[in-house]
């Protein structure tokens, strides 16, 4: 959120630079008198819009009020809000952002929960106390990793609709990482798997990335599916 507010400040500064002294207004129409400035402004504006869309803020602010306040600060004018009111309103905007975000991705969360409820009924699927689901595809007979270990694995990760977002199997190269260096669902599952095992994991959002998104491939509140082969415990 702090990054977005800084971006807002940059854009407002550009708007402020377009104002005529004392006019109190600006326009996006008319001839371009400085092409370089226009190019910079347009480029920043595009990036700003993308950031606002990504963070669910585009429809939550009053542009005119924002620009007026920013220009007032640049001109060393007195703020119309007290410091406690400023902090309160910033917190209120963050709450509105989170509420809007939750609403936007409620369908993803609900779909994941419904999927897991049905999946839990399938033969061979086991569910832990945390909500992690797994199925033993191949039973290994090696040692189980501990919380302090590094592991070597092959994996194939998808959304519940089958969309692939990451796969060491497709790359043809296994990976090594600390048991604690991954999402909670992985950390839990790895400590249950003997070396040589192949499992399918169904990881609910709260054990994956929750309300966050690590990239465009994984929406917030996504339930994730992994085929995992535990190859070894490197020393």
DSSP 78-125: PPSS-HHHHHHHHHHHHHHHHHHHHHHTHHHHHHHHHHHHHHTTSTT-
The one catalytic residue among 209, 218, 221, 233: 209
Paired strand residues for 156:
167, 227
Among candidate residues 155, 147, 159, the one with its CA nearest the CA of residue 184? 147
Among candidate residues 224, 230, 202, the one with its CA nearest the CA of residue 128? 202
Query: In 10 A of CB 208, how many CB atoms?
Result: 21
Global confidence as pTM: 0.65
User: Is 221 one of the catalytic residues?
Assistant: no
Residues 6+ away with beta carbon under 8 Å from 206: 131
Paired strand residues for 65:
none
The one catalytic residue among 70, 165, 169, 227: 165
User: Is 166 one of the catalytic residues?
Assistant: yes
CA dist 154 → 1, 105, 184, 196, 226 (Å): 35, 30, 18, 11, 10
User: Is 165 one of the catalytic residues?
Assistant: yes
CA–CA separation, 145 vs 132, rounded Å? 18
End-to-end CA distance of the chain: 41
Per-residue pLDDT of the chain (235 residues; tens, 9 = 90+): 444 444 444 444 444 444 433 444 455 667 777 888 888 878 877 887 787 676 666 677 777 887 788 778 878 888 888 888 888 988 888 888 777 777 778 889 899 999 999 999 999 999 999 999 999 999 999 999 999 999 999 999 999 999 999 999 999 999 999 999 999 999 999 999 999 999 999 999 999 999 887 877 898 899 999 999 999 999 8
pLDDT of residue 10: 47
User: Is 226 one of the catalytic residues?
Assistant: yes
pLDDT of residue 44: 74
Among candidate residues 32, 31, 4, 26, the one with its CA nearest the CA of residue 71? 26
pLDDT of residue 189: 98
The one catalytic residue among 48, 155, 203, 218: 155
């Amino acid at each position: 959120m702090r990054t977005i507010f800084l971006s807002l400040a940059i854009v407002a500064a550009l708007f402020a630079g377009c104002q005529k002294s004392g006019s109190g207004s600006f326009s996006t129409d008319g001839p371009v008198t400085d092409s370089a400035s226009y190019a910079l402004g347009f480029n920043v504006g595009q990036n700003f819009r993308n950031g606002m869309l990504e963070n669910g803020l585009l429809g939550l602010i009053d542009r005119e009020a924002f620009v007026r306040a920013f220009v007032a600060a640049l001109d060393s004018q007195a703020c119309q809000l007290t410091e406690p009111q400023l902090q309160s309103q910033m917190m209120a905007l963050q709450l509105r952002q989170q509420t809007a975000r939750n609403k936007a991705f409620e369908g993803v969360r609900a779909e994941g929960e419904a999927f897991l409820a049905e999946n839990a009924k399938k033969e061979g699927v086991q569910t832990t106390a945390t909500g992690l689901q797994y199925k033993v595809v191949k039973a290994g007979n090696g040692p189980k990793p501990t919380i302090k270990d590094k592991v070597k694995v092959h994996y194939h990760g998808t959304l519940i609709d089958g969309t692939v977002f990451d796969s060491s199997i497709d790359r043809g190269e296994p990976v090594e990482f600390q048991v604690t260096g991954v999402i909670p669902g992985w950390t839990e599952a790895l400590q249950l798997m003997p070396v040589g095992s192949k499992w399918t994991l169904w990881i609910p959002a709260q054990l994956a990335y929750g309300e966050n998104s690590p990239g465009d491939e994984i929406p917030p509140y996504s339930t994730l599916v992994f085929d995992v082969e535990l190859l070894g415990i490197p020393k």
